Structure 1
Amino acid sequence: MAVCAENTLASFDRATRDGAVAIELDVRLSVDARLVVIHDAAVDRTAVAGRRQGVVAELTWAELQQVELGEGQRIPSLEAALGVVRTEVHVEIKDPAAALQAAELVLREDLQDRVMLTSFDVGALAEVRRRSTRLRLGVICTEPTAAALAAVRQLDAAALAAGSAHLDPELTGRLQSAGVQVCGWPVRTEGELAQALAAGVDLVTADDPAWCRERLAALAGAEV
């Protein structure tokens, strides 16, 4: 989030209070096979104190807990995040090694109705689909290429998240008619928001949900 340390329990709470209808978070696997919520492959960019460096896949859960993030937050486990977030959650699989374990967690906790597993890595999503047809999947891509659209069909994916600059109403409408939810990203400026709305998307990915809701309300008012 733009207003809170990213991928933390505090940021998920803030996003919910600021009106986000869904929370997007990232998951990787520690060296001792714990599902950890972090975007980057290393802790270096987001760490502000304590342990300041290290590759997530080479650190234990205990070592990762030595990393202090902004506002005194720590790296959460996926279990903890799903335990506190009550909105829809899009779990982006950053590390393919985490795919099956994340799938098992969602199934074990019977969260498939409000948790979607997403990824740029189609192979990771295919592994999840082989595990269960009950899990909702989302394909992420910068540009909706023929390969990305084929993956949506082959995986029976529930959603496609693509760069708003590469979406248009015709493609969005075609996907929606097939029952696929379309998400535009990123939305950091009013221009990017307008671009996503012009493409007819169902959702946008924004770092500041309160700002996004405010601009949506303003744009809706301008159209009246």
Structure 2
Amino acid sequence: MWFDNKDPEFLDASSETVPIPELDIVSHRIYRHPSGMIYLIGEVKNRHECNLSVEVNAYLLEGEQVRGFGWASTLIPILIPGQKSPFRVIFHNVKDSFNRYSIRVKFGVTKQNPFREIKILEHCFYVDDSGCFIVYGRLKNISQNRVDLVKVIGAFYEKDNNILALDIKPSKPESFEAYQEGDFRLTVPSRLLSAMVKSYSLDFWTPTGLSLFSIKW
């Protein structure tokens, strides 16, 4: 996450998305951090029959004038068919005002199959003494192979399943031997956002067995 126990400012800006049949932009939200940086978060869903690598391009606009540009890959770098992933685009040094933003996505097809033999065994949530929403859980490598650099990704939603916040953290341990178990902890470190959370979703990512340079754009 990114707010460091500081509440963001909700921005009143209209939005537009450029639809493509292979990907859904499920929901999105824009904030101003107390530092002045702009954060655009959202989720995309793979509607294609192939595995995809997805890039998000975003523009801050005042009328037809571009006030800022940012891009990011999805937090899960390769999406299998039907899979969702959050994204986060950060705009630095935005000095001019803007009244709308535009989101465009592009994708590359890959024949690589990401490792999916991690199972989230259980999870629960609570609100800590500072008012922050916490998710704690356990996961297990259900394969016979060693798995490295495991990260757990959480998307947090308000009413109507609109994305509100996200977090990505390494599991503990970060690498798993065959059939080993571990745990994870995700946080929404803003009291304002934590009070608005109605539901959340969890996924994981590991680059084990992949060469991410084979993407076909």
TM-based fold match above 0.5: no
* Higher relative contact order, structure no. (Cα contacts within 8 Å, ≥ 6 residues apart): 2
TM-score when normalising by structure 1: 0.25
User: Which structure dedicates a bigger proportion of its chain to strand?
Assistant: 2
User: Which structure dedicates a bigger proportion of its chain to helix?
Assistant: 1
TM-score when normalising by structure 2: 0.26
